[in-house]
């Protein structure tokens, strides 16, 4: 477990659901019905509620065992552990999936994440990051400031894909009326990389 300079708590754990990971005012259930998954969890300092719960691996043939976590002075999140088979270790994209060299063995991993919970090696430059408004939103979410065609995926806090499509013009208005109230991540992908940003819906 680690605590950053703002009092937010980070931890990694192997969880088999359903599992309530939120000691705060809301109920936050993870449901892994058939397998144990490794999760990267954040609890917000303000109210103790879950800031995010990112699944580190989703595989029917292997497993991942997180061993530890640390947060550096600049906010970089570093996790390490062991895995078997193929591990999708980037919670919001499928672009980082290391595979063991010898079948049925375990190998060690080290991953570094930014505060937006994307692999640091996959981040794009800050100048290409679109803006989102209004936040919180109600029925529509506007994505503005993108200069080229980008794809988007909206995921809940367990990493489940809810909406996806392409952004072809700026600004683009997304219909999010079908989503329940709560916190979500929008993953924006272009040729140079992927960035995940959190937003709230009322």
Is the distance from CB of 156 to CB of 98 less than 8 angstroms? no
Distance in angstroms (rounded) separating the CA atoms of residues 123 and 77: 14
Residue 44 DSSP symbol: -
User: Measured between alpha carbons, how far is residue 117 from residues 93, 98, 176 in Å?
Assistant: 11, 18, 22
Predicted pLDDT at 100: 80
What pTM was estimated for this model as a whole?
0.54
Distance in angstroms (rounded) separating the CA atoms of residues 165 and 70: 35
Q: Does the structure show a pLDDT above 80 at 22? A: no
Where does the pLDDT of residue 180 fall: very low under 50, low under 70, confident under 90, or very high at 90 and above?
A: very high
Tens digits of per-residue pLDDT, 114-123?
A: 776 666 654 3
Q: Report domain extents, the chain.
A: 2-120, 126-201
- 184's torsion region: left (phi>0), alpha (psi -120 to 50) or beta? beta
Is the distance from CB of 117 to CB of 91 less than 8 angstroms? yes
Q: Which fold has domain 126-201?
A: Immunoglobulin-like (2.60.40)
Tens digits of per-residue pLDDT, 46-94?
A: 777 777 776 776 566 677 788 889 888 777 888 888 888 877 676 655 5
């Amino acid at each position: 477990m680690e605590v950053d300079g703002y009092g937010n708590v980070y931890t990694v754990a192997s969880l088999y659901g359903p599992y309530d990971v939120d000691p705060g005012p809301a109920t936050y259930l993870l449901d892994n019905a058939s397998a144990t998954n490794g999760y990267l969890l954040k609890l917000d300092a303000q109210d103790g509620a879950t800031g995010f719960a990112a699944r580190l691996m989703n595989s029917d043939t292997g497993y991942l065992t997180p061993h530890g976590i640390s947060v550096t002075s600049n906010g970089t999140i570093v996790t390490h552990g062991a895995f078997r088979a193929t591990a999708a270790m980037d919670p919001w994209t499928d672009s980082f999936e290391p595979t063991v060299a010898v079948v049925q063995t375990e190998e060690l991993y080290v991953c570094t994440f930014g505060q937006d919970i994307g692999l640091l090696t996959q981040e794009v430059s800050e100048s290409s990051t679109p803006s989102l408004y209004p936040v919180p939103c109600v029925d529509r979410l506007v994505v503005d400031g993108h200069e080229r065609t980008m794809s988007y995926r909206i995921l809940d806090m367990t990493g489940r894909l809810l909406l996806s499509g392409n952004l072809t013009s700026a600004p683009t208005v997304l219909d999010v009326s079908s989503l329940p109230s709560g916190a979500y991540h929008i993953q924006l992908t272009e040729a140079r990389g992927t960035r995940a940003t959190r937003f709230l819906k009322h």
